[in-house]
A = this chain, B = another copy of it.
Amino acid sequence: MTTLEAIRGRISANKFDPTQELSLQEIRELVDLAAQAPSSFNQQNWRFIAVTKKEDKEKLTALAYGQQKVADAAVTFIVLGDLRGHERLAQALEPSVKAGLIGAKDVEGWSGMAAKMYSDERMARDEAVRSGSLAAMTLMLAAQDKGLASGPMIGFDPEGVRKAFGIAERYLPVLLLPVGRAAPGNWPRKPRLQADQVLAFGSGAGL
């Protein structure tokens, strides 16, 4: 599937075939693809909890106001952003250091810059949402490429999810992402505003 076909073909699915599972390897590959997204300083401050077991999915469905897709999808990812990702920058950059792309000096310099930027709590939260979203979008298009459907959700109780799934304070739930085989009965693709309705040239005055 070409990228443009994936972009234009994707729908946000509500109906999933509950009989279809994904292997651990398939789930890992989706996350590996999601993790190819960009992030500030390459801090890779996204994290994923793959919810696949029946009882866990039922718990999560209840925390998502009963939305059945959470239970029916082969996996529902809880996509998290690490509010303190900058503190782990050295670990995130280790593969780049090992590959000889950057040196210890770069790691030190970037860590200093990141520490300064993200001492602002709002910046840190924005970054967690941004990185989690960039990775989630990549995951959705990767899933589409593999013939899978996805249905991103923000309708859930984030604090309830945190407690029920043992999620540390440092992680912000950014969205839930059911992924699996589509069942019949999904919405057709919803048309969008025209480009000229969301785009201005050279100034925001026209928006």
A residues near B (Cβ < 8 Å) are 1-8, 10, 12, 24, 27-29, 31-33, 35-38, 40, 42, 44, 46-53, 56, 78, 80, 91-92, 95-96, 98-99, 101-102, 125-127, 129-130, 133-134, 136-138, 140-142, 144-145, 152, 154, 162, 165-168, 171, 174-175, 187-188, 190-196, 198-205, 207
Contact = CB atoms under 8 A, between A and B. Distances in A.
A154 B127 contact: yes
A95 B190 contact: yes
A31 B166 contact: no
A93 B78 CA distance: 28
Given A37-B137, A137-B138, A174 B130 contact: yes
A33 B78 CA distance: 26
Number of copies of this protein chain within its complex? 2
A199 B130 contact: no
Contacts of A53: 202
A50 B142 contact: no
B175 A48 contact: no
B191 A49 contact: no
